[in-house]
């Protein structure tokens, strides 16, 4: 007689049993954050070659794009500004200009979509002439004090313009406490959350984004301030520092190649919501593989999202959000 412990298939022979075996990996609208690219021309709509199906949008086009997604249950967006006329300079002055598309769209989005949680990426790379995420010294290296001062200024501007959440992707040492100190100093620390890109790696998978946001470094790379892609200890030390400095929520970025760190960081910091960023290269990889018949996009994407949730991800930042909301809506109908 077979040992009863070896008989497993009686526990998952139908979809309900399989769902019960998969608890904690559910995907709902509240587990998704939708990154969007906002351009200066309010009526602009520009397809992004490196990210098929994704557009840079002006504010008016963004409203049209978001309305049906809100009806499908969209809960949050992550805003990225893209310049085409405003100047880029050494310190990224246009990042917090009153003419910046993010600064202009925040009050409108708050009015149009009062229940939408609006996060803003905070960085300088899309606004600096050199394309790096901080302010540089004359030798081309990062000036940390000037960088975190600038990042805190930009964060404050977005907070005052209506952002619910600030997401500094610059990776400068000390930027979280600089932002939190500024929010406290201006009496709004209870009105804005800080989502730290706490474990963000120097990844190959950002290429399509840099095309989308016109944010490629003009020289060198970001390996001096984004974490080494094969490191682990630094991810834990950077995350512990950001927790200590007041980050409300944490992130691992990119996602798929770093799920081990999602798990180990969620284990070490169980009380902080953990975001996983499915970055542009992961989007493009899945899109093109499915388009070329390697697998069904929905099956592959849902399997990956399930893995991200199983590893400990509470919220997944993904460009596939509209597609997923569509699928969730259809699923709820049957
Ligand atoms: O989807 C993506 O690839 C995201 C890229 C990410 C946006 N936060 C950055 C990575 C990079 O270009 O180095 C931008 C850094 N501020």
Q: Ligand 1, atom 7: nearest CA belongs to which residue?
A: 169
Q: Which residues are catalytic?
A: 200, 253
Q: Does pTM surpass 0.75?
A: yes
DSSP, collapsed to helix, strand or coil, labels residue 29 as helix
User: Residue 143: what pLDDT?
Assistant: 98
Q: Report the Cα–Cα distance between both ends of the chain, in Å, rounded.
A: 42
**DSSP states of 72-112:** TT--EEEEEEE-SSS--BTT-GGGG-TTSHHHHHHHHHHHH
| pLDDT digit string, tens, across residues 51-64 | 999 999 999 999 99
User: Residue 5: what pLDDT?
Assistant: 81
Q: Mean pLDDT throughout 66-94?
A: 98
Distance from the alpha carbon of residue 168 to the mean position of ligand 1, in angstroms: 11
User: Residue 140: what pLDDT?
Assistant: 97
- CATH number 3.40.50.300 given to 4-332: no
| pLDDT digit string, tens, across residues 3-32 | 888 899 999 999 999 999 999 999 999 999
Distance from the alpha carbon of residue 13 to the mean position of ligand 1, in angstroms: 42
Asked if 41 and 57 touch (Cβ cutoff 8 Å), the reply is no
Q: Tell which atom from ligand 1 comes closest to the C-alpha of 279.
A: 1
Written as six digits, the tokens of 194 are 């800080």
Q: Of 37, 127, 209, which is best to mutate to test ligand 1, by the most ligand atoms within 8 angstroms of its C-beta?
A: 209
- pLDDT band for position 2 (cuts 50, 70, 90): confident
Parse the chain into domains and list their residue ranges.
4-332
Distance from the alpha carbon of residue 270 to the mean position of ligand 1, in angstroms: 25
User: Residue 255: what pLDDT?
Assistant: 98
Q: Mean pLDDT throughout 98-103?
A: 98
- The response to whether residue 279 sits with its C-beta less than 6 Å from ligand 1 reads yes
| pLDDT digit string, tens, across residues 157-200 | 999 999 999 999 999 999 999 999 999 999 999 999 999 999 99
Q: Tell which atom from ligand 1 comes closest to the C-alpha of 215.
A: 12
| pLDDT digit string, tens, across residues 112-125 | 999 999 999 999 99
Q: Mean pLDDT throughout 263-269?
A: 98
Is residue 333 over pLDDT 80? Answer: no
Distance from the alpha carbon of residue 4 to the mean position of ligand 1, in angstroms: 50
What integer best gives the mean pLDDT of the chain?
Answer: 97
């Amino acid at each position: 007689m077979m040992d009863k412990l070896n008989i497993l298939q009686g526990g998952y022979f139908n979809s309900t049993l399989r769902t019960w075996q998969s608890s904690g990996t559910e995907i709902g609208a509240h587990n998704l954050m939708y990154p969007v690219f906002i351009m200066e021309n309010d009526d602009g709509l520009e397809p992004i070659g490196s990210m098929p199906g994704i557009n840079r949008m002006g504010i008016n086009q963004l409203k049209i794009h978001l309305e049906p997604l809100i009806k499908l249950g969209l809960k949050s967006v992550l805003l990225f500004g893209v310049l085409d006329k405003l100047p880029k300079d050494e310190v990224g002055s246009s990042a917090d200009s009153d003419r910046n598309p993010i600064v202009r769209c925040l009050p409108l989005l708050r009015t149009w979509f009062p229940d939408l949680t609006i996060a803003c990426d905070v960085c300088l790379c899309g606004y600096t002439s050199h394309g790096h995420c901080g302010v540089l010294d004359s030798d081309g290296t990062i000036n940390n004090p000037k960088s975190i001062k600038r990042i805190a200024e930009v964060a404050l501007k977005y907070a005052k313009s209506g952002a619910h959440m600030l997401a500094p992707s610059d990776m400068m040492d000390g930027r979280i406490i600089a932002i939190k100190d500024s929010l406290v100093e201006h009496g709004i620390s209870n009105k804005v959350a800080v989502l730290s890109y706490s474990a963000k790696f120097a990844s190959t998978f950002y290429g399509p984004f840099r095309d989308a946001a016109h944010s490629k470094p003009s020289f060198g790379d970001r390996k001096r301030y984004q974490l080494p892609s094969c490191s682990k200890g630094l991810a834990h030390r950077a995350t512990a520092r950001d927790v200590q400095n007041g980050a409300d929520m944490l992130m691992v970025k990119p996602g798929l190649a770093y799920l081990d760190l999602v798990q180990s960081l969620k284990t070490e910091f169980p009380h902080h919501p953990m975001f996983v960023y499915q970055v542009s290269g992961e989007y493009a990889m899945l899109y093109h593989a499915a388009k070329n018949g390697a697998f069904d996009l929905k099956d592959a994407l849902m399997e990956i999202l399930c893995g991200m949730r199983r590893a400990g991800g509470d919220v997944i930042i993904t460009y596939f959000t509209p597609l997923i909301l569509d699928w969730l809506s259809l699923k709820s109908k049957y």
